[in-house]
Structure 1
Amino acid sequence: MSITEVNGHATEATTLEVKDSPFLQALVQQIRVNDPYGTFRNWSDDLLLKPFVVSRAKKREISVEGEVDPITKGRILAFFRAVATRIEQETGQMSQVVVDLSHEGFGWALVFSGRLLLVSRTLRDAQRYGFDSLEKLAAEGEKLTQSGVDMATRYPEVCKL
Protein backbone atom coordinates (compact mmCIF):
# COMPACT_ATOMS: atom_id res chain seq x y z
CA MET A 1 0.00 0.00 0.00
CA SER A 2 1.34 3.44 -0.84
CA ILE A 3 0.68 6.89 0.57
CA THR A 4 -0.62 9.63 -1.71
CA GLU A 5 -1.54 13.22 -1.05
CA VAL A 6 -5.09 14.33 -1.80
CA ASN A 7 -6.20 17.90 -1.06
CA GLY A 8 -3.29 18.38 1.32
CA HIS A 9 -4.04 15.21 3.29
CA ALA A 10 -1.95 12.05 3.23
CA THR A 11 -4.11 9.05 2.40
CA GLU A 12 -3.43 5.41 1.72
CA ALA A 13 -3.84 4.28 -1.85
CA THR A 14 -6.14 1.30 -1.84
CA THR A 15 -5.49 -1.91 -3.66
CA LEU A 16 -8.97 -3.34 -3.10
CA GLU A 17 -11.23 -3.19 -6.12
CA VAL A 18 -15.01 -3.10 -6.00
CA LYS A 19 -15.30 -6.29 -8.07
CA ASP A 20 -13.33 -8.15 -5.37
CA SER A 21 -15.80 -7.37 -2.58
CA PRO A 22 -19.44 -8.49 -2.63
CA PHE A 23 -20.23 -5.88 0.01
CA LEU A 24 -18.76 -3.00 -2.01
CA GLN A 25 -20.71 -4.23 -5.04
CA ALA A 26 -23.91 -4.15 -2.96
CA LEU A 27 -23.07 -0.64 -1.71
CA VAL A 28 -22.50 0.66 -5.24
CA GLN A 29 -25.78 -0.97 -6.27
CA GLN A 30 -27.62 0.82 -3.43
CA ILE A 31 -26.16 4.18 -4.45
CA ARG A 32 -27.17 3.68 -8.08
CA VAL A 33 -30.66 2.39 -7.20
CA ASN A 34 -31.38 5.46 -5.09
CA ASP A 35 -30.35 7.90 -7.83
CA PRO A 36 -33.68 9.16 -9.22
CA TYR A 37 -32.18 11.48 -11.85
CA GLY A 38 -29.48 9.17 -13.22
CA THR A 39 -26.68 11.45 -12.04
CA PHE A 40 -24.43 8.53 -11.08
CA ARG A 41 -25.11 6.47 -14.20
CA ASN A 42 -21.74 7.24 -15.80
CA TRP A 43 -19.70 7.59 -12.62
CA SER A 44 -17.09 4.95 -11.82
CA ASP A 45 -17.60 2.72 -8.79
CA ASP A 46 -14.53 4.21 -7.10
CA LEU A 47 -15.91 7.71 -7.50
CA LEU A 48 -19.22 6.64 -5.94
CA LEU A 49 -17.44 5.15 -2.92
CA LYS A 50 -15.01 8.05 -2.44
CA PRO A 51 -17.27 9.96 0.03
CA PHE A 52 -17.27 6.91 2.34
CA VAL A 53 -13.49 7.22 2.84
CA VAL A 54 -12.68 10.03 5.28
CA SER A 55 -9.20 10.36 6.78
CA ARG A 56 -8.75 10.94 10.50
CA ALA A 57 -7.43 14.44 9.81
CA LYS A 58 -10.48 15.27 7.71
CA LYS A 59 -12.78 13.91 10.42
CA ARG A 60 -11.19 16.28 12.95
CA GLU A 61 -11.94 19.20 10.63
CA ILE A 62 -15.64 18.31 10.39
CA SER A 63 -17.65 20.08 13.07
CA VAL A 64 -20.15 18.11 15.12
CA GLU A 65 -22.09 21.30 15.79
CA GLY A 66 -25.40 21.60 14.01
CA GLU A 67 -27.46 19.30 11.84
CA VAL A 68 -26.30 16.17 10.09
CA ASP A 69 -25.98 16.82 6.36
CA PRO A 70 -28.72 15.04 4.34
CA ILE A 71 -26.04 13.63 2.03
CA THR A 72 -24.28 12.08 5.03
CA LYS A 73 -27.59 10.62 6.20
CA GLY A 74 -27.99 9.13 2.74
CA ARG A 75 -24.53 7.54 2.93
CA ILE A 76 -25.35 5.99 6.31
CA LEU A 77 -28.64 4.62 4.98
CA ALA A 78 -26.95 3.27 1.83
CA PHE A 79 -24.33 1.48 3.96
CA PHE A 80 -26.90 -0.31 6.10
CA ARG A 81 -29.12 -1.07 3.10
CA ALA A 82 -26.09 -2.74 1.51
CA VAL A 83 -25.69 -4.82 4.68
CA ALA A 84 -29.37 -5.81 4.44
CA THR A 85 -28.98 -6.65 0.75
CA ARG A 86 -26.01 -8.92 1.45
CA ILE A 87 -27.92 -10.66 4.26
CA GLU A 88 -30.83 -11.23 1.85
CA GLN A 89 -28.45 -12.68 -0.74
CA GLU A 90 -26.89 -15.05 1.80
CA THR A 91 -30.05 -16.21 3.62
CA GLY A 92 -32.97 -15.62 1.27
CA GLN A 93 -34.77 -13.77 4.09
CA MET A 94 -36.08 -10.29 3.26
CA SER A 95 -34.28 -7.70 5.41
CA GLN A 96 -35.26 -4.13 6.16
CA VAL A 97 -33.39 -1.13 7.55
CA VAL A 98 -34.35 1.58 10.02
CA VAL A 99 -32.00 4.48 10.74
CA ASP A 100 -32.94 6.98 13.43
CA LEU A 101 -30.65 9.99 13.87
CA SER A 102 -31.20 12.99 16.08
CA HIS A 103 -30.33 16.43 14.77
CA GLU A 104 -27.15 16.24 16.89
CA GLY A 105 -25.81 13.16 15.08
CA PHE A 106 -26.69 10.50 17.65
CA GLY A 107 -28.91 7.52 16.99
CA TRP A 108 -28.97 3.95 15.80
CA ALA A 109 -29.31 1.75 12.75
CA LEU A 110 -31.27 -1.49 12.77
CA VAL A 111 -31.41 -4.27 10.20
CA PHE A 112 -34.21 -6.75 10.80
CA SER A 113 -35.97 -9.64 9.13
CA GLY A 114 -39.50 -10.48 10.21
CA ARG A 115 -39.38 -9.98 13.97
CA LEU A 116 -35.70 -10.82 14.30
CA LEU A 117 -33.19 -8.03 14.86
CA LEU A 118 -30.14 -8.99 12.79
CA VAL A 119 -27.87 -5.95 13.22
CA SER A 120 -28.03 -3.13 15.74
CA ARG A 121 -25.49 -0.32 15.57
CA THR A 122 -25.29 2.80 17.71
CA LEU A 123 -24.28 5.91 15.79
CA ARG A 124 -22.34 8.82 17.30
CA ASP A 125 -21.05 11.95 15.62
CA ALA A 126 -22.83 11.05 12.40
CA GLN A 127 -21.49 14.27 10.85
CA ARG A 128 -18.09 12.52 10.73
CA TYR A 129 -19.38 9.21 9.32
CA GLY A 130 -16.81 7.48 7.16
CA PHE A 131 -14.00 4.95 7.10
CA ASP A 132 -10.22 5.31 6.94
CA SER A 133 -9.93 3.25 3.75
CA LEU A 134 -11.91 1.23 1.25
CA GLU A 135 -10.57 -1.93 2.90
CA LYS A 136 -11.94 -0.88 6.29
CA LEU A 137 -15.28 0.00 4.70
CA ALA A 138 -15.49 -3.45 3.11
CA ALA A 139 -14.32 -5.18 6.30
CA GLU A 140 -16.92 -3.43 8.47
CA GLY A 141 -19.67 -4.18 5.97
CA GLU A 142 -18.70 -7.84 5.74
CA LYS A 143 -18.44 -8.10 9.54
CA LEU A 144 -21.97 -6.73 10.02
CA THR A 145 -23.26 -8.90 7.18
CA GLN A 146 -21.76 -12.04 8.69
CA SER A 147 -23.20 -11.14 12.10
CA GLY A 148 -26.65 -10.76 10.54
CA VAL A 149 -26.34 -13.98 8.53
CA ASP A 150 -25.32 -15.88 11.67
CA MET A 151 -28.37 -14.55 13.53
CA ALA A 152 -30.75 -15.31 10.64
CA THR A 153 -29.47 -18.88 10.26
CA ARG A 154 -29.64 -19.47 14.02
CA TYR A 155 -33.30 -18.33 14.27
CA PRO A 156 -34.90 -18.80 10.82
CA GLU A 157 -38.39 -19.32 12.26
CA VAL A 158 -38.38 -15.82 13.80
CA CYS A 159 -37.46 -14.31 10.42
CA LYS A 160 -40.67 -15.75 8.99
CA LEU A 161 -43.00 -14.15 11.57
Structure 2
Amino acid sequence: MSDTAISLAVNEDEAALATPFVRCLVRLMRAQDSCGSWEGKSDAELLADFIVTRKQRRAMPVIGDPEPDVLWRLDMFYTAVGLAIEERSGLMTSPMTKMKPMGASDDCVSRPGGWSLCRDIHRFGFATFRNLAQAGTKLVDDATAAVEAYPDVAPA
Protein backbone atom coordinates (compact mmCIF):
# COMPACT_ATOMS: atom_id res chain seq x y z
CA MET A 1 0.00 0.00 0.00
CA SER A 2 1.39 3.39 -0.89
CA ASP A 3 2.10 6.15 1.63
CA THR A 4 -0.65 8.27 0.08
CA ALA A 5 -3.25 5.52 0.52
CA ILE A 6 -2.17 4.97 4.13
CA SER A 7 -2.34 8.68 4.89
CA LEU A 8 -5.84 8.92 3.34
CA ALA A 9 -7.00 5.95 5.45
CA VAL A 10 -5.58 7.53 8.61
CA ASN A 11 -7.24 10.87 7.82
CA GLU A 12 -10.54 9.09 7.12
CA ASP A 13 -10.31 7.25 10.44
CA GLU A 14 -9.52 10.47 12.31
CA ALA A 15 -12.52 12.19 10.69
CA ALA A 16 -14.79 9.25 11.57
CA LEU A 17 -13.56 9.22 15.18
CA ALA A 18 -14.41 12.93 15.44
CA THR A 19 -18.09 12.53 14.45
CA PRO A 20 -20.67 13.27 17.16
CA PHE A 21 -21.99 9.69 17.18
CA VAL A 22 -18.55 8.11 17.60
CA ARG A 23 -17.65 10.65 20.30
CA CYS A 24 -20.84 9.61 22.12
CA LEU A 25 -19.89 5.92 21.76
CA VAL A 26 -16.40 6.61 23.10
CA ARG A 27 -17.80 8.52 26.11
CA LEU A 28 -20.17 5.64 26.83
CA MET A 29 -17.41 3.05 26.58
CA ARG A 30 -15.08 5.06 28.81
CA ALA A 31 -17.88 5.38 31.37
CA GLN A 32 -18.05 1.57 31.52
CA ASP A 33 -14.38 1.36 32.56
CA SER A 34 -14.75 1.16 36.33
CA CYS A 35 -11.19 -0.10 36.93
CA GLY A 36 -9.34 2.40 34.75
CA SER A 37 -7.83 -0.25 32.50
CA TRP A 38 -8.73 1.71 29.34
CA GLU A 39 -7.37 5.09 30.49
CA GLY A 40 -4.18 4.84 28.43
CA LYS A 41 -5.93 3.63 25.28
CA SER A 42 -6.64 5.90 22.35
CA ASP A 43 -10.18 6.14 21.00
CA ALA A 44 -9.20 3.99 18.01
CA GLU A 45 -7.81 1.27 20.29
CA LEU A 46 -10.92 1.43 22.44
CA LEU A 47 -13.21 0.96 19.42
CA ALA A 48 -10.99 -1.57 17.61
CA ASP A 49 -13.29 -4.50 18.46
CA PHE A 50 -16.09 -2.82 16.50
CA ILE A 51 -14.02 -3.24 13.33
CA VAL A 52 -14.43 -6.60 11.59
CA THR A 53 -12.64 -6.76 8.25
CA ARG A 54 -13.87 -8.83 5.32
CA LYS A 55 -11.10 -11.32 5.94
CA GLN A 56 -12.13 -11.69 9.60
CA ARG A 57 -15.80 -11.98 8.63
CA ARG A 58 -15.02 -14.72 6.10
CA ALA A 59 -13.17 -16.68 8.77
CA MET A 60 -16.29 -16.74 10.97
CA PRO A 61 -19.04 -19.31 10.44
CA VAL A 62 -22.24 -18.01 8.84
CA ILE A 63 -24.36 -19.22 11.76
CA GLY A 64 -23.04 -19.21 15.30
CA ASP A 65 -23.70 -18.23 18.88
CA PRO A 66 -22.48 -14.76 19.86
CA GLU A 67 -19.94 -14.38 22.62
CA PRO A 68 -20.79 -12.12 25.57
CA ASP A 69 -18.29 -9.51 24.31
CA VAL A 70 -20.12 -9.28 20.98
CA LEU A 71 -23.48 -8.84 22.71
CA TRP A 72 -21.94 -6.17 24.94
CA ARG A 73 -20.60 -4.26 21.89
CA LEU A 74 -24.01 -4.53 20.21
CA ASP A 75 -25.62 -3.13 23.35
CA MET A 76 -23.03 -0.32 23.56
CA PHE A 77 -23.63 0.62 19.91
CA TYR A 78 -27.40 0.91 20.26
CA THR A 79 -27.14 2.60 23.66
CA ALA A 80 -24.88 5.20 22.03
CA VAL A 81 -27.49 5.65 19.30
CA GLY A 82 -30.10 6.31 22.01
CA LEU A 83 -27.84 8.77 23.81
CA ALA A 84 -27.06 10.63 20.60
CA ILE A 85 -30.79 10.89 19.82
CA GLU A 86 -31.36 12.21 23.33
CA GLU A 87 -28.59 14.80 22.92
CA ARG A 88 -30.10 16.05 19.67
CA SER A 89 -33.80 15.91 20.45
CA GLY A 90 -33.88 16.47 24.20
CA LEU A 91 -36.13 13.41 24.62
CA MET A 92 -35.05 10.47 26.78
CA THR A 93 -34.41 7.34 24.74
CA SER A 94 -33.03 3.90 25.34
CA PRO A 95 -32.62 0.82 23.17
CA MET A 96 -34.95 -2.11 23.64
CA THR A 97 -33.03 -5.23 22.73
CA LYS A 98 -33.45 -8.67 24.17
CA MET A 99 -31.34 -11.49 22.85
CA LYS A 100 -32.13 -15.10 23.64
CA PRO A 101 -31.38 -18.46 22.07
CA MET A 102 -34.18 -19.57 19.76
CA GLY A 103 -34.26 -22.97 21.46
CA ALA A 104 -35.69 -21.21 24.52
CA SER A 105 -38.46 -19.60 22.50
CA ASP A 106 -41.94 -20.86 21.71
CA ASP A 107 -41.99 -18.96 18.42
CA CYS A 108 -43.21 -21.09 15.52
CA VAL A 109 -40.28 -20.08 13.32
CA SER A 110 -37.72 -20.90 15.99
CA ARG A 111 -34.96 -23.34 15.31
CA PRO A 112 -33.03 -24.84 18.23
CA GLY A 113 -29.42 -23.74 18.34
CA GLY A 114 -29.94 -20.44 16.51
CA TRP A 115 -30.72 -16.89 17.54
CA SER A 116 -34.17 -15.44 16.98
CA LEU A 117 -33.19 -11.90 15.92
CA CYS A 118 -30.30 -12.40 13.56
CA ARG A 119 -28.46 -15.58 12.60
CA ASP A 120 -25.15 -13.82 12.12
CA ILE A 121 -25.15 -11.50 15.12
CA HIS A 122 -21.86 -13.10 16.16
CA ARG A 123 -20.31 -11.28 13.18
CA PHE A 124 -21.42 -7.83 14.39
CA GLY A 125 -18.96 -5.14 13.40
CA PHE A 126 -18.07 -2.64 10.72
CA ALA A 127 -15.40 -2.74 8.03
CA THR A 128 -13.96 0.66 8.96
CA PHE A 129 -14.37 3.44 11.50
CA ARG A 130 -16.04 5.41 8.73
CA ASN A 131 -18.68 2.68 8.31
CA LEU A 132 -19.21 2.63 12.09
CA ALA A 133 -19.72 6.39 12.11
CA GLN A 134 -22.04 6.30 9.09
CA ALA A 135 -24.22 3.51 10.50
CA GLY A 136 -24.66 5.21 13.87
CA THR A 137 -25.18 8.64 12.37
CA LYS A 138 -27.82 7.32 9.96
CA LEU A 139 -29.79 5.74 12.82
CA VAL A 140 -29.59 8.96 14.82
CA ASP A 141 -30.56 11.10 11.81
CA ASP A 142 -33.54 8.86 10.97
CA ALA A 143 -34.82 8.88 14.55
CA THR A 144 -34.34 12.63 14.88
CA ALA A 145 -36.20 13.19 11.62
CA ALA A 146 -39.08 11.08 12.96
CA VAL A 147 -39.14 13.13 16.17
CA GLU A 148 -39.25 16.34 14.15
CA ALA A 149 -41.93 14.98 11.79
CA TYR A 150 -44.19 13.92 14.67
CA PRO A 151 -43.48 16.36 17.52
CA ASP A 152 -46.72 15.58 19.36
CA VAL A 153 -46.19 11.82 19.34
CA ALA A 154 -42.46 11.73 20.22
CA PRO A 155 -42.76 12.83 23.88
CA ALA A 156 -45.60 10.37 24.57
TM-score by length of 1: 0.76
Q: What residue is the counterpart of 1:136 in the other structure? A: 131
In the alignment, structure 1 residue 151 sits paired with structure 2 residue 146: yes
Change (3 A) 1:33 1:125: same
Structure (1/2) with the larger helix percentage = 2
Q: What residue is the counterpart of 2:44 in the other structure? A: 46
In the alignment, structure 1 residue 82 sits paired with structure 2 residue 80: yes
Percent identity, aligned pairs only, is 30
Task: Pick 1 or 2: higher relative contact order, CA cutoff 8 A, min separation 6.
Answer: 2
Letter of the aligned partner of 2:68 in structure 1? P
Equivalent pairs, count: 139
Q: Following superposition of structure 1 onto structure 2, how do residues 5-84 of structure 1 map, counting pairs within 5 Å? A: 13-15=9-11, 16-17=13-14, 20-84=18-82
SS of equivalent to 1:63: coil
TM-score by length of 2: 0.78
Distance 2:58 2:126 in 1: 13
Alpha-carbon shift at residue 43 of structure 1 (Å): 1.3
Alpha-carbon shift at residue 19 of structure 1 (Å): 5.3
Structure (1/2) with the larger strand percentage = 1
Distance 2:75 2:152 in 1: 27
Distance 1:153 1:144 in 2: 14
- Greater Rg over alpha carbons, structure: 2
